Structure 1
Amino acid sequence: MLLWAAAALLSVLASGGAQEDFQAAAKEYGVPESVLLGVSYLESRWDSHDWRPSVSGGYGPMHLVDAEAVPEAGQHHTGDPRGDDSRPMSITHPPLTMIRQDEQTLQLAARLTGLPVERLRQDRAANLRGGAALLADQQRRLGSPLSPDPLAWHEAIVRYASASFANEVFDVMRDGVERRTDDGSLVRLPATPVPALRVAPASDTECPATLECEWMPAAYKRFGKDDYGNHDRLRSKREIDYIVIHDTEGSYGGIPSLVKNPKYVSWHYTIRSVDGHVAQHVLTKDVAWHAGNWDVNTRSIGIEHEGYLAQGGTWYTEAMYRSSASLVRYLATRYDVPLDRAHIIGHDNVPGSNADSVPGMHDDPGPYWDWARFFAMMDAPIEGKTSGRSVIIKPDYDLHQPAFVGCVRKRPGKPCEPHGATTVWLHTEPRDDAPLVDDIGKRPNGASTFSVYDQSARASVGQRYALAGTSGDWTAIWYLGQKAWFRNPPSQPTAVRASGPLVTPIRDKVEVYGRAYPERSAYPRGVKFQEHAALPYTLHRGQYYSLGQTLRGSYLAASHFNPDKHVMVRGRLRYHQIQLGHRVMFVKADDVRVVS
């Protein structure tokens, strides 16, 4: 123990700067330095984020929350989230922006420290003192001494955030962390000999043992004469092909009133930003209405994350990323879902169910969701090969800061603040002043834009595309039936070579679909045939697209409140899922040739 303490002291003296601020704050308020470092790491990874608020209004390394900084809610589930032609559904009810009084930790930290709110919001040493004061206050409220033993602080951390958050803090302490923060400071948390702690999720929930999950059931209720909401219950387990990542476009405080409204929509889980707390709303065997495409709904699990896609200056906490990664890895193992970007997709990767629905499909979680970091947390890092006929998009999140506009809704032409992002812009030619490629489905009456909400000419981290050419620092991929060029200089690459199966059309004008529905002969009497509605894209000879999976057509006929009347139609028609543009889409297997 003495050797470990000496090593820790040497690391503090060697680092200076932020490390000394952590040490001073911990000493002033009697909090073990390892506890303060562990809590702060889960809140912010020790970064200041240029003193901009997080998606839940938290500032600085200790994520001190100010309700006034919570962004205005956006319109999230609009249009037809069910995406079923046989029973269209219109949603207009917006999310609510709310925050509980006990979550406003910035003001409490100001009272405990005597420091001005503004200083806590923009000074690192003050921010750390505020966090240390909050932890010490929780320990005193428990009637516990300010012990140097980190384990004695477990219950205080639980009260500070949640049980699963506290256990993650101890995991961080046990493993140890070292990183250079966004202001250049080197901070070290040496590996600390603490036990691995676990929680017991609520008995009704489907969560890994590392997460404290809450059961917050979605409404399942009739309304009107023939309709009901807000999900479909099934009698038996279903096959899962996708896990869909969403953001809420509103704060966590508004979630209970929305998910319990039978006239709204549903999703399976919500994850809170401030501490990574997880609430489950729909059993995974049941179909939630979240993706805007009925075929994807019937074969997916939807997870909402507290956040706003356009808030480039805001940030998601480490706690939320870790909870989400733990949950997705658990679900992927349970349902045998591959951990890749063909199966773990964003709402912005879900295809329109028909041509009319494509322009209104959603754009979350957007370009600021750090896919590479997310997959690394699931022990499935996004990696390429030394050679191959494909490329995987993979810029460095922190260094790659493409220009966007429209982060402020009322000023759509205003440039967004510089911020790390996961997408690359796609041009018609290998030069910066060339026009962006067009998406005739998303924007049928206009050219692609640099809006943060417009993914018409963007490719995202982890997505694999067929290589179409190179020219100097530029790389071309096949994208929506055309060659699309993006900057990929060797000094700061934005993509890596990859291998994997491709498909190429066997004739010109091959149609593309947003749903993998069965052939007409597969439908039993009494179930209406669902048309194979082609999307406004066609493929031509000589083009190549990455193959994500092959599946047979299926359709769930679920128009009754009584699940016993649901019918699952399974056909023989085979489809290939391809990465056509920013979204995944489907081609009939007989229309293309697979290139291994």
Structure 2
Amino acid sequence: MLFSGSIRASAAHPSENGSSEPVYHPGPLYEQFEQAAKEFHVPLTILLAVSYAETHWQDHHGKPSELNGYGLMHLADNPTNHSLPEASQLLGIPENQLKNDVKQNIRGGAAVLAQRAKELNQGKLPQDLAKWYTAVAAYSGLSSKLTAKWYADEVYDLINHGAYRLVDGKDMFIRPTRVIPDKGIYADVKAVQAASTPDYPYANWVAASSSNYTAANRVADGNSINYVIIHTTEGSYSGTISWFQNPQAQVSSHYVVRSSDGEITQMVQNKDIAWHAGNWDYNVHSIGIEHEGYVSDPSWFTDAMYRASASLTRWLCDKYGIPKDRSHIIGHNQVPGSTHTDPGSGWDWNYYMSLVNQSSSSTEIVVDNSNTSRVSVSGNWALSSWNSQKYGADYYYTTPQAVSEPVWFKFNVPSSGSYSVYAWWPADPGYNSNTPYIIRTSSGNQTVYANQQAGGGKWNYLGTFNLPAGDQYIVGVSRWTSGTGYVIADAVKLVKN
């Protein structure tokens, strides 16, 4: 990505009693969105949400997505989306500049959004935020009304719930705005009933173009399914589904998993050969699972995505007798001859495999702050339910102090051995970028530092440790830190390896 993603604590912190909104410190990037929104009379919230849905406000060094889309606004040039040349024409700016110049890319996206809105509203721009829905769906450039609707639904979900991340140490954010979109022509769009149904019972079914896979009957033909191959889409969920429907794509995968909630869509029947591995022998003997996101940006890999994908992989392994190990559940980068790097270094293989291998006898223990019999806390920590990314009903917070006063989480560890430790916290720019987590291991205390300004609303991997058996306090959240901002203690999880 073009931006460093470096972090710092905000100078001011939000109130934790719900009486005020967070205090943000936007930088030049946010200001460029403001300027483009004003210039083209596009609501700032719409412009920010479209960009976040497409790229999480990341530029990816000017490299194209799988749909040949560029920059923060994903200006594209493919068989169904020509927003890049259109923006070039609207602004009188060369396409190469739109690909690589962040400010001009944002302006180009705003210009195309405004153009779509005018085309759908008799030459006028909507005055109501709810009525921009159809323009957002059209901006997607997706080939079917269903995927365009999914795209617009995601944008409006972001508007309703908000979003936040740090880019180059400055705040990028969408303040939550309650709005019920006017879906217009998309209101009654539903998935078309088809002859095929998903093999996996918890998936949607949207068929890939028959030009993008090889029809077969693999198990009956003696071609065993030996691998599950993990991919990253390098683009959006709805965009990937739309691309696999396009006969010119010449690529497909059996399943696609959404980042925000783990929704799964199957596009190729398990018996058929999807074109996903770049190696024919591996295509013949594998199932491909695409995960929404980008290799360079692990913020897309949410807990909901990990859990949904792992449940799918576990089901596939059980169905086809695939060993649940890293020799048979592999990344695209592990396929012989592959030039791809997905799912990338940000993919948490330890966590993923622990989820794949869970069973009725496996150990996964969660202790939330609300479990008073398993949490030790002093009166200098306060309770809050202000941040919606919390685990459970509330969480503890306090200010940093050079004192040993942690919140301790107690676990009944059934047997000594190796455990992966995860922590859940709500994130905010006013929280601490250097929160100490103390783990009581078999060989003594170890401390891991976590950035609570990011990674909110999901399980964050702290590391793998040898833990002693017994019912005792295992993980503490300390307030002794050089960082500024509130220290949060919410929930902790152990997973037996």
With the length of structure 2 as denominator, give the TM-score of the two structures.
Answer: 0.49
With the length of structure 1 as denominator, give the TM-score of the two structures.
Answer: 0.42
Which has more radius of gyration?
Answer: 1
